[in-house]
Structure 1
Amino acid sequence: MTDFSDDERAAVYRAIEERRDMRHFRPDPVDPETLQRLLEAAHRAPSVGYMQPWRFIRITDPDRREAIHALVEAERQRTADALDERRDEFLRLKVEGVRESGELLAAALMPDREGHIFGRRTLPEMDLASVACAIQNLWLAARAEGLGMGWVSLFDPEALRRELAIPEGGRPVALLCLGHVEAFYDRPMLEQEGWDRRRPLEELVHTEYWEG
C-alpha cells in the first residue's frame, strides 16, 4: 500500500523519464538553498553497510575550474585517439560543461574504506555503487528543481585527486556540472547525436538465468 498520491507518483516517474545528462548551461548562479536541498537529497542515498562513502567538493575558484577543464580536455583527446574510426565523430560531441555551469562539484570516494567489510567482502566495488546512488539522487532532485546536471568522467583520477587535495586512498569518481539550462534535451544527447540508442527493456531482463 502506498501513501503517495497519484500525482506524487507521476512526478517521481516524470523526473526519472525526463532526467538528462546535460552539456549546455547558462552561467546563472544556483540558489544556495536549492543547492543545499540537492546535497541533502544526495546524502539520503542508500549505501553499502551504511558506510556513506560519498564526499562532495564544491569548486568555486575560476583558476581551479580552468585547471580541471585542462584535465578534462587532455583526457578527451586521449579518449578520441583510443576510439580509432569513431575519433572524429567523438570530437564533434560536446562532452562537458565545466566552464559554463553555475556550479561544479566533484564526487569522490572517501579514504580508509578497507575497514568497511559489511556488504563489501566479496564485492568491494559496492562503495562506488553507493556513490553512484548519491549522484543519481542529486540528478533527479536537480531535474525536479528545473536544473540540469551533467556527469563528466573524462579525467585522470590521480591528477584530479592531487588538484583537489583528496587524501591518499580517496578517489574522485565524477565531475558534476550543475546549473540552469535553456532547455532540456528531448532525448538523451548521445541518442540525438546518433552515438548509440536505448536498448529495448526486453533485451536486458531475463528470467531464472541469463538467456542467450
Structure 2
Amino acid sequence: MPAAAFGADERAGVYRAIETRRDVRNEFLPDALPAALVRRLLEAAHHAPSVGFMQPWNFILLRERERREAVHRLFSHANDEAAAMFGDERGRAYRALKLEGILAAPLNICVTCDRTRGGRVVLGKTHNPEMDLYSTVCAVQNLWLAARAEGVGVGWVSIYHADELKALLNVPDHVAIVAYLCVGYVDQLYARPELAEKGWRERLPLDELIFEEGWPEGGRETAVTPDE
C-alpha cells in the first residue's frame, strides 16, 4: 500500500473531523441509527492501533429504554457525589452543566478492555501493562472521529462507580470498562467545546505544552487550579 499523503480535500476532512469533534450531551435527536451506520462506526473502532495487536476491546450496545434508565440512575447517584466535592460557587456551576445524554441518545455503547486478551505475556505490554487500556482508548477515538464524519454525535460519560456499572451489565472481573458512550444523530454542535462555551475551562495554549528533548530544568510544572 503506498504511503503517499492524502489529497488536499481528504486531509482537510481528517483535520475538520478532529477540530470539530464535540462531546455531545443535550443535542441528540431521537432517530434510531441505521444498522449499517452503527457497523461502520464499530469497524472504525476495531481498526484502531493496539499494542501487540491484542485488540482488547468489546462493545456492549444498549438500546432498551429500561436498561438505559438503570444506567442513568447510577450516573445520577455518582453525579450528586461529584457535585458535593466542589466548593459552593463551583458546585453550583457544576450542577448547572448537562453531563450526559444517556436517555436522550438512542444508542449507548459501553467500550470495555479485556485485560487477559493475548495471554500472560503480550508483545509491547511486558513493561507497560496499561497499554491494553491505552489501546482501547484509541478505539474510542476512532469511533468518535468516524461518528463526526457521519454527522453522528458522541458523548463520553465518566461519572459512575465502575463496579456498579459492571454488575449491571454483567461485565466479568477481568474486563475493565474504559468508556460509556452516548451515540445519536445531531443537527447542531457547539462552535467550541461546551465546557469552554459555558465558562468551565478554556483550551490550554499549545506552545506552553511543548518541550524539546525533555522536561526543562526548572521549567514550568503543571499548575493545579483548585476548584472552588
TM range (shorter): over 0.9
State the identity %: 46
> Does residue 201 of the first structure (1) align with residue 203 of the second (2)?
no
> Does residue 92 of the first structure (1) align with residue 96 of the second (2)?
yes
Where do 5+ consecutive residues of structure 1 fail to align?
A: none
> Does residue 9 of the first structure (1) align with residue 14 of the second (2)?
no
Q: CA deviation digits over 1:38-72, x for unaligned, max 9?
A: 00000000011111111110012211111000011
Match in the other structure for 1:49: 52
Q: CA deviation at 1:170?
A: 0.9
Deviates more, 1:83-92 or 1:137-146: 83-92
Distance 1:111 1:126 in 2: 10
Distance 1:111 1:16 in 2: 29
Distance 2:19 2:212 in 1: 25
Match in the other structure for 1:133: 138
Q: CA deviation at 1:118?
A: 2.1
For 2:193, which of 188, 194, 197 is the aligned residue? 188
Where do 5+ consecutive residues of structure 2 fail to align?
A: 220-228
Measured on the aligned residues, the alpha-carbon RMSD in Å equals 1.3
Mapping of residues 158-197 of structure 1, within 5 Å: 158-197=163-202
Letter in 2 for 1:110: D
Distance 1:62 1:116 in 2: 40
Q: Is the 8 A contact 1:157 1:173 kept in 2?
A: no
TM-score, normalised by the number of residues in structure 2: 0.89
Letter in 2 for 1:203: E
The number of equivalent residue pairs is: 212
Q: CA deviation at 1:111?
A: 4.5
Letter in 2 for 1:198: R
Distance 1:171 1:208 in 2: 34
Deviation beyond 3 Å, 4+ runs, structure 1: none
Distance 2:93 2:130 in 1: 32
Distance 1:130 1:95 in 2: 25
Q: CA deviation at 1:116?
A: 4.2
Largest Rg, 1 or 2 = 2
TM-score, normalised by the number of residues in structure 1: 0.96
